[in-house]
Amino acid sequence: MQQNTYSAKVMEHFQNPRNVGEIEDADGVGNVGNPVCGDIMRLYIKVKNDMITEAKFQTLGCGAAIASSSVLTELVKGKTIAEAMTLRNDDVVKALGGLPDVKMHCSVLAEQALRKAIEDYRSKHGGAKKKEEKT
């Protein structure tokens, strides 16, 4: 059972979010939203040699949505595209020291924003799949 209050890490990322803003020449942009709660996230990534070198976000939403976006940008920087694709909402929750059950969707939105940013990057730089994965 999850706690009903925010962890100190969530409060820290909400009050002092990292990597807020827009990357004008982003290699990939992911836009997601939750119509039920009204949270909207936009994630920007810069990629060089298959490595995410920069990540920024713009989020309109609750403290958990902002904190999830902020910590996600820290988690993805320095990772290859393949490594970033393995990140899940559970990784966001763990990095935040947990989220209340009613705010878990915020970590899911962060994961979805990352996936969409990577899909956008791949569509602009050589197809939707990594060099035509062999089956």
Q: Which residues are catalytic?
A: 37, 106
The set of residues, in sequence order, having a beta carbon less than 8 Å from that of 69 and lying 6+ positions away, is 17, 41, 43, 57, 59, 110, 113
Is residue 30 within 8 Å of residue 124, measured between CB atoms? Answer: no
CA 19 – CA 72 distance, rounded (Å): 10
